Amino acid sequence: MLNIYDLEKKWLRYKLRSFLPGMSIFIVLLIVIIAVYVFIDLKKLNILDTTILNTITKEQEHNISKIVQQPLKKEIPVVQSKDISQEIVTPKRVEEAIQLPPHNETPSYEKNILEPSIAFMDTMQNKPIKEVANTQKIVPKNTVQVPKKQAPTTITEKPQAQLTYEANSITIKKQNTYEDIDYVIKRFKKNNNPALSLFVAKKYYELGEYKQAYNYALITNEINNNIEASWIIFSKSLVKLNQKSKAIQTLQQYINHSNSNQAKVLLKEIVSGKFK
């Protein structure tokens, strides 16, 4: 005798059981597809991140190259203001860093082959530049409060200073120049972009660190010897390092090579003693 209700239940169980392998395969496939999709998505995100980073880096490089291409006139007031800021702000270690080699020793830049100094190479390889930057950070608050009579303009133009106007309770913070340089040097070490080394050279020149400026300008010239701004900084640094004749010789060679008007103007100024 047929028991249809029981048979229907058995049939339902049988159907569920027969669907089970297919369902299992479907679920496994679904999981695999989702996993692959997530993996691809993550990869895409990584690529996107890299692209954004690259874009940002390019933008920064572009900004840097803009800075590098700034006219010389703008640099001069900064150099002039440096002395005051050095006197007030820069600790002993920084002063040591910018000290010139003794006169009785033959400086590296006097050799015919233009090379970075050994000390500089050591600095590039080992010396954590942050130390210098950190020392800049430890500036007592009152050091900023320089009496207005002494040098009112230098304080406002000083790149690493932190200015606090308590009366209006507005805090204006500028990023430390040494941190900037440190960051750019790191990036330069990675990609060897002459625009970066030129930026560093210019920044060092602005800060009065002529030896470093000379070294980075030299590196820039070695990478690309057609950058006018680099040769200008190189020559200016030589003048500041009391190597006027070398600077003149370098500029003359560069003018012969490139016929640069800016180089000609600078040469005239050096020869006439206008630029010291």
* CB 1, min distance to another protein, A: 10
Could you tell me which stretch among 9-17, 66-74, 86-94, 168-176 binds another protein (CB under 8 A)?
A: 9-17
Q: Which is nearer to another protein, 12 or 25 (CB)?
A: 12
Could you tell me which stretch among 13-21, 90-98, 151-159, 255-263 binds another protein (CB under 8 A)?
A: 13-21
Measured CA to CA in angstroms, residue 9 lies from 13, 14, 18, 145 at distances of 6, 9, 14, 92
Q: Indicate the SS3 state at residue 231.
A: helix
Please list, residue by residue across 44-77, b when 16 or more beta carbons sit within 10 angstroms of its beta carbon and e when fewer do: eeeeeeeeeeeeeeeeebeebbebbeeeeeebee
Could you tell me which stretch among 8-16, 31-39, 57-65, 167-175 binds another protein (CB under 8 A)?
A: 8-16
Under the binding rule (CB under 8 A), the answer on residue 7 touching another protein is yes
How far the first Cα of the chain sits from its last, in Å, is 120
Under the binding rule (CB under 8 A), the answer on residue 19 touching another protein is no
Under the binding rule (CB under 8 A), the answer on residue 8 touching another protein is yes
Distance CA 216, CA 150 (A): 33
Q: Which is nearer to another protein, 10 or 127 (CB)?
A: 10
Q: Which is nearer to another protein, 5 or 165 (CB)?
A: 5
Question: Total residues at the site for another protein (CB under 8 A)?
Answer: 10
Q: Which is nearer to another protein, 19 or 37 (CB)?
A: 19
Torsion angle of C-alpha atoms 254, 231, 103, 106, degrees rounded to 10: -60
Under the binding rule (CB under 8 A), the answer on residue 118 touching another protein is no
* CB 18, min distance to another protein, A: 9
Q: Which is nearer to another protein, 2 or 138 (CB)?
A: 2
Token pair, residue 159, equals 């790149």
Token pair, residue 148, equals 């207005």
DSSP-assigned beta bridge partners for residue 162 = 173
Q: Which is nearer to another protein, 13 or 127 (CB)?
A: 13
Close Cβ partners of 163 (under 8 Å, ≥ 6 residues apart): 144, 155, 156, 172, 173, 174
Under the binding rule (CB under 8 A), the answer on residue 20 touching another protein is no
Q: In the chain, at which residue ranges do the beta strands (DSSP E only) sit?
A: 162-165, 170-173
Residues at the site binding another protein, with contacts judged by CB under 8 A: 2, 4, 7-8, 10-11, 13-15, 17
